[in-house]
Structure 1
Amino acid sequence: MKSARFLLAAAVCAACLVSQAALAETINFGIISTDNSAALKQRWQPLIDDLNKQTGLEVKPFFATDYAGIIEGMRFNKVQIGYFGNASAIEAVDRGNGEVFAKVKYKSGEAGYYSLLITNVNSKWKTVDQVLKNTHDINLGFGDPNSTSGTLVPSYYLFAKNGISVRNDFKSVLPSSHEANMLAVVNNRVDVATNNTDMVETLRQQHPELLQRVRILWKSPLIASDPMVWRRDLPQATKDKLRNFFDHYAQTDPREKAIMEGITGLSGFTDSTDAQLIPIRQMALFQKKEQIQNDAHLSDEDRKAQIAALDQKLAQLDKVAAK
């Protein structure tokens, strides 16, 4: 009889342990590689610590050497929530079962940020017009392929609109992170480089003396602030905890405000949806359309068919944007 009671008690205890394990949800928080992992961890870990305390979830930071690592992490469910740029968020949404649920806010009150073309203050390249007219003599520090401000926006607004092919017209193109491109300009290792106002703000806070070595040659139209993306298949209870945290974080608490300001001058978060990605999708399709129009290897028939398909996608996006 005692043996039976013991077995029953053990079974109940085991069931409790299993139940507790199921409730102890672990979430990986992916952060795109705009900087080196140590710097990103220093900036984001205090927020992640608060996220754990306030939600009861077990959230761990997830870093990769490039944007693709975070995108693939979400695709294969190694990352369940992440901080993305708009272009990389498109990949996370389309290929990683992701969904935009929030976006960052800036202390400055800006609704977004800007892509930049920068050079060393002592460079012979004094204006953006000089750069555009002499690309064959210029080494370009470029962004990660999935970067909005480092690649997509300057490719479209600065280069494609001026009839310049990044791949073919520069002396050399060296893709890297925003931090690496900034340091390459500061130390005169590239002639010009793409970057953004977030990295300029980081340099202003941490190394203002280095910022004096940087000249800004070009500034893009406003880019919507960076989105937060979670996997669509997260449990609703988990989504509710995450949304409640990001809706209220750094609204009043001075310590939380200081943590957000340390993340490139941010002030908090506000709700968002996949709709914020529409302008970036349109930009990418326009850019692809121009590439097809200028592709001498395509037959007229193939060119017309591909352009028609892109026009159809653009028309669909126009309808969504209108709503």
Structure 2
Amino acid sequence: MKTWITTLGLAAGLAFASTAGAQQKELSFGIISTESSANLKSTWQPLLDDMQKVTGYKVNAFFSTDYAGIIEGMRFNKVQVAWFGNKSAMEAVDRAGAEVFARMTQPDGGTGYWSLMIVHKDSKLQTLQDVLKDRQQLTLGFGDPNSTSGALVPGYYAFAQNGVDPVKDFKRTVRANHETNILAVASRQIDVATVASDGVDRMKIKLPEKHAELRVVWRSPQIASDPMAWRKDLDADAKQKVKDFFLAYGKEAREKEILAKLTIGGFIASSNDQLLPIRQLALAGERGKVEADTTISAEEKARKLKDIDARLAELGRQVASAAK
């Protein structure tokens, strides 16, 4: 099923590319792989059907087996609009000519979510420190490398700040999407996993008996809700129609019901500025690796750290300016 859906997405993207320079008729909408493609298709398709009706464009769902596939899809114009996490959006902005135009809100109206570390409810592990202490005997379910809540945020706050390498220091580390990691913990196939809080919320809706098997042992600082992004060179008329659609969506009862299955409250305007804290986090993680690197000379380390500190200072200025 995954192969068939991904192939369908690729074909749709190529169909769009063949009309480049002609009248805009189709849009391919990229959906990051937080769950199986079949599950994502069933929950996103009603929204995409509404998007097609309102904008007048044929809207095709584009799936990939990992986050990088959506980033590359946008890079090569096989994807024109996409739902990203903050880390994958940052990569898409830097590598694929993407631009953030909106962000999701939570069902309760909030504008953020969390990275969680979960274990089976009967696990002896009670805290993050328990996990770190016993890590050499544990199997860790870690997120996609481009996942904000599955990899970047816990990689820094839970592991790097405690001098732990999540890839090397556990008995075994497996990478998977949020849904797979949640189900693996619930069925005791792995000991602990880093996942998104909204992924856990969706599991409570879909499979409450699995959700009941979970327990949270660590919660991150709040993360900005997921961004929506388009290619910067998308036709101006298409941009306006797409933005108008998302900012207006979720006001009617039927639309609210569709969004509830996605654990989304609605959408608000945003920009690339929402990615600045993620850039700070990524650089801070890079700085920690340089500091711990024993293979380079003191001079080389000092040079690299000076460069990173300058970039962090500039990001700090940008964050302060954006907050005004």
TM over 0.5: yes
Task: Give the match for residue 281 of structure 1.
Answer: 279
- What is the identity, as a one-letter code, of the residue corresponding to 1:256? E
Distance 1:272 1:257, change over 3 A: same
Alignment match of 2:267 (pick from 266, 269, 277): 269
CA contact (8 A) 1:250 1:257 kept: yes
Q: TM-score, normalised by structure 1?
A: 0.91
Distance 1:274 1:24, change over 3 A: closer
Matched, 1:23 2:3: no
- What is the identity, as a one-letter code, of the residue corresponding to 1:131? V
Unpaired segments ≥5 residues, structure 2: 1-18
Task: Give the match for residue 259 of structure 1.
Answer: 258
Matched, 1:193 2:188: no
- What is the identity, as a one-letter code, of the residue corresponding to 2:256? K
Partners of 1:201 and 1:315 in 2: CA distance: 36
CA contact (8 A) 1:27 1:79 kept: yes
Alpha-carbon offset, residue 126 of structure 1: 2.6
Most deviating of 288-297 and 124-133: 124-133
Larger gyration radius, structure 1 or structure 2: 1
The alignment's C-alpha RMSD in Å is: 1.3
Task: Give the match for residue 303 of structure 1.
Answer: 301
CA contact (8 A) 2:102 2:271 kept: yes
Q: TM-score, normalised by structure 2?
A: 0.91
Matched, 1:166 2:166: yes
Task: Give the match for residue 239 of structure 1.
Answer: 239
Report percent identity of matched pairs: 48
Following superposition, which runs of at least 4 residues in structure 1 exceed 6 angstroms of deviation? none
1:92 is paired with a residue of what secondary structure? helix
Q: Deviations along 1:257-303, whole A, 9 cap, x unmatched?
A: 1111111x212100000000000100000010000100111111111
Task: Give the match for residue 113 of structure 1.
Answer: 113
CA contact (8 A) 1:24 1:58 kept: no
Q: Deviations along 1:193-226, whole A, 9 cap, x unmatched?
A: 1011111111111111111111110011100000
CA contact (8 A) 1:32 1:83 kept: yes
CA contact (8 A) 2:28 2:61 kept: yes
Unpaired segments ≥5 residues, structure 1: 1-18
Alpha-carbon offset, residue 24 of structure 1: 4.8
CA contact (8 A) 2:119 2:191 kept: yes
Show the 5 A alignment for 1:82-101. Answer: 82-101=82-101
Q: Deviations along 1:68-115, whole A, 9 cap, x unmatched?
A: 000010111111000000000000000000000000011112221100
Task: Give the match for residue 213 of structure 2.
Answer: 213
CA contact (8 A) 2:128 2:158 kept: no
Task: Give the match for residue 45 of structure 1.
Answer: 45
Task: Give the match for residue 317 of structure 1.
Answer: 315
Partners of 2:320 and 2:115 in 1: CA distance: 26
Q: Deviations along 1:209-258, whole A, 9 cap, x unmatched?
A: 1111111100111000000000000011110111111111112x110111
Partners of 2:108 and 2:138 in 1: CA distance: 34
Partners of 1:24 and 1:223 in 2: CA distance: 35
Partners of 1:240 and 1:72 in 2: CA distance: 24
2:199 is paired with a residue of what secondary structure? helix
Partners of 1:224 and 1:129 in 2: CA distance: 26
